[in-house]
Amino acid sequence: MVPFEYEAPGTIDEAIALLAKHRDEAKVLAGGQSLVPLLNYWLARPRAVLDINRLPLDGVRVEDGRLRLGALTRHATLEDSDAIAQACPVLAEAAALIGNVRVRALGTLGGSLAHADPAAELPMAIVALDARLTLQGRDGRRTVPAGEFFRGYLTTALEPVELLTEVDVPVTRGMGHAVEEFARRLGDFALVAVTVLMGLDRAGRVDEARVAFAGVAPTPIRAPGAEDMLRGHEPTAERLSRAATVARDSLAPESDAFVSAAYRKHLAGVLARRALARAMTRAVESACASA
Ligand SMILES: Cc1cc2nc3c(=O)[nH]c(=O)nc-3n(C[C@H](O)[C@H](O)[C@H](O)COP(=O)(O)OP(=O)(O)OC[C@H]3O[C@@H](n4cnc5c(N)ncnc54)[C@H](O)[C@@H]3O)c2cc1C
């Protein structure tokens, strides 16, 4: 590890001022589960590390139909919180698939989104949820839709003098959800992952469908063709299977050191079919429970 200055600002303004002072030479430290390995291997050599763990960014609240999560919300909180389980259970399911219990105890929502690993579960989930991200810099706050936040491999819309402070997602009560993934070993990053959200109208037809993938492109991506072919239709086994095929065929993953592009694409189709079926079952159960 290359030596660096360590700062632990006590307020957001102080943190922004330190970012402005150090600009590209600074790295924000949240849970450290991605940053510390980069420091250890000299892949990141910041002049200053700004530890944001003293900032008041770990709040979880439901307000105006949206779940608002501070950037320092730990993966373990996403997994275990009753409020999150009720308002947006897909986040709990996605968080439970991350790494291991140690990583989930320390890693944060904001850190996962800012790091933007293309195979990570939370970026995919928030893209499926059409989340909004609050970024705070010297000129105040701005809100960026999740679909515009991820710009490329490990690259986001965050400017050097900006902090991700909050993420808000719509409350998804009543919608079915499922996250499916395949990893080479338990606890590894997924080769491919998929998140599905599905809502049904009173006639049992799909009135909302979201399908998002991780591990198949430099950023998490939606499969709008599959979503369109579900909306307005009964979620029959045949339609779900066709939607999974449409989703798979819309992807153009690349081969890498682990697997071929063809295998990744095949996996995406299989996982999408499973996730669609599970989300549909939950949507039907929820519709029956509220009838
Ligand atoms: C063994 C192991 C297995 C893992 N497996 C998985 C997995 O299966 N799936 C998965 O998704 N992840 C996995 N991870 C990564 C883990 O989820 C990390 O917690 C996450 O990627 C980063 O969150 P963090 O809070 O630790 O961020 P840090 O490591 O502290 O920071 C990561 C990056 O984000 C920036 N940053 C952090 N917070 C902010 C903020 N609020 N505003 C602006 N920039 C910020 C930092 O400067 C840094 O560049 C694994 C990690 C380990 C060590």
Closest C-alpha to 106, from 166, 213, 29 = 29
The answer to whether the beta carbons of residues 87 and 172 sit under 8 Å apart is yes
Ligand 1 pocket test, pick from 115, 121, 122, 191 with the greatest ligand atom count within 8 Å of Cβ, gives 115
User: Which pTM was predicted?
Assistant: 0.97
pLDDT band at 2 (very low <50, low <70, confident <90, very high): confident
Tokens of 143: 């809100």
Residue 284 has a pLDDT of 95
Q: In the predicted model, is pLDDT for residue 61 greater than 90?
A: yes
pLDDT over 70 for what percent of the chain? 100
pLDDT in tens, 129-145: 999 999 999 999 999 99
pLDDT in tens, 177-190: 999 999 999 889 99
pLDDT in tens, 20-54: 999 889 999 999 999 999 999 999 999 999 999 99
What is the residue-averaged pLDDT of the chain? 96
Residue 149 has a pLDDT of 98
Distance of CA 165 to the CA centre of its chain: 15
Distance from C-alpha of 13 to C-alpha of 257, rounded to nearest angstrom: 43
Tokens of 64: 């105006």
Ligand 1 pocket test, pick from 6, 28, 54, 133 with the greatest ligand atom count within 8 Å of Cβ, gives 28
Residue of the nearest CA to atom 39 in ligand 1?
A: 111
User: What would the mean pLDDT of 88-111 be, rounded to a whole number?
Assistant: 98
Query: Pocket around ligand 1: residues whose beta carbon is below 6 Å from it?
Result: 27-35, 37, 52, 71, 98-99, 103, 107-108, 110-112, 114-115, 117, 120-122, 158, 163-164, 189
pLDDT in tens, 227-274: 999 999 999 999 999 999 999 999 999 999 889 999 999 999 999 999
Provide the pairing of β-strand 155-156 with 150-152. Answer: antiparallel
Secondary structure E strands in the chain:
5-7, 26-29, 48-51, 60-63, 66-70, 132-137, 140-145, 150-152, 155-156, 162-170, 176-182, 192-200, 206-214, 221-222
Residue 291 has a pLDDT of 74
pLDDT band at 290 (very low <50, low <70, confident <90, very high): confident
Tokens of 262: 């063809």
pLDDT band at 1 (very low <50, low <70, confident <90, very high): confident
